[in-house]
Amino acid sequence: MHEILLLITAVGAGFLGALLGLGGGIIIVPVLTLIYHIDIRYAIAASLISIVATSSGAAASYLKDSLTNLRLAVFLEIGTVSGAIVGFLLASYIKAKFLFLIFGVFLFFSALMMLRKRHEHYSPVNHPWADKLKLDGGFPEGGHWKTYKVEMVPLGLFAMFGAGVLSALLGIGSGIFKVLAMDGAMKLPIKVSSATSNFMIGVTASASAGAYLLKGDVRPEIAAPVAVGIIIGSMAGAKAMTKMPAGVIRKIFAVILSIVSVQMIMKGLK
């Protein structure tokens, strides 16, 4: 019975994770610890497995639908991985409560910005780096092929570095930062941002999941139903995302940001 409830919960987390490019981990960890009272170490380990599962389940669908920008994803991983290494080295020197407060406030303002931004803003020109590396692309929408350019590539790379640092320091997934950086700074369409983020988080989470596996924190009775549920949910979320209007995705994303920001601020105040 316990495993069936975990499976059902994971399906919902996988659906939202694939739809928003968050990976499902940011949803499944609070659920496992607060509702099912699972040890935080096992919850994080199961979450990392689920992030890899979400990325794998959704990536194939997004690639088939031509939403994922592979060149951009591989390039931005340079910043994310570098930031994760720096964050791991800084973890023992910075008090987490200050980071939780800053993170929570940042997410709250980001949610407000997402709600205010009513329309997709396509960049008319490429950044010079985007031209040289051929980072621009296109995607199908409404029966038409829409092309997009990529702005502010250095800022996007720096934002990915920050995402990696905070991910290592706070022990959270960096899908939120990836989507915000690609959507806000680099002016990518929200659907492309979510799809590309899904591809990236799987690469980043694989190494961490391996470390937890070696430590013995991956419990099959927890990780297995969570991973299976996440895969089912992520495939459904990937299909829903291609048919859902960008404005609806943006509003859902803003609600999730608001909820997470409140959790982070409360944790920081404690």
What is the distance between the alpha carbons of residues 207 and 177, in angstroms, rounded to a whole number? 19
The mean predicted confidence, pLDDT, of the chain is 79
β pairing state of 137-141 and 144-148: antiparallel
Q: What does the pLDDT read at residue 76?
A: 92
What is the distance between the alpha carbons of residues 243 and 114, in angstroms, rounded to a whole number? 20
What is the distance between the alpha carbons of residues 45 and 80, in angstroms, rounded to a whole number? 20
Reduced to 3 states (helix: H, G, I; strand: E, B; else coil), residue 61 is: helix
Write out pLDDT tens, residues 217-268: 888 888 889 888 888 887 888 788 777 776 777 777 778 778 878 877 887 7
Contacts with 164 (C-beta within 8 Å, 6 or more apart), sequence order: 79, 80, 81, 82, 83, 84, 85, 86, 87, 174, 204
Regarding pTM above 0.85, the answer is no
Reduced to 3 states (helix: H, G, I; strand: E, B; else coil), residue 188 is: coil
Helix axes 220-243, 40-64, angle to 10 degrees: 30
Among residues 242, 248, 170, 238, the alpha carbon closest in space to that of 17 is found at 238
Write out pLDDT tens, residues 113-152: 667 655 566 777 888 888 888 888 888 777 778 888 888 8
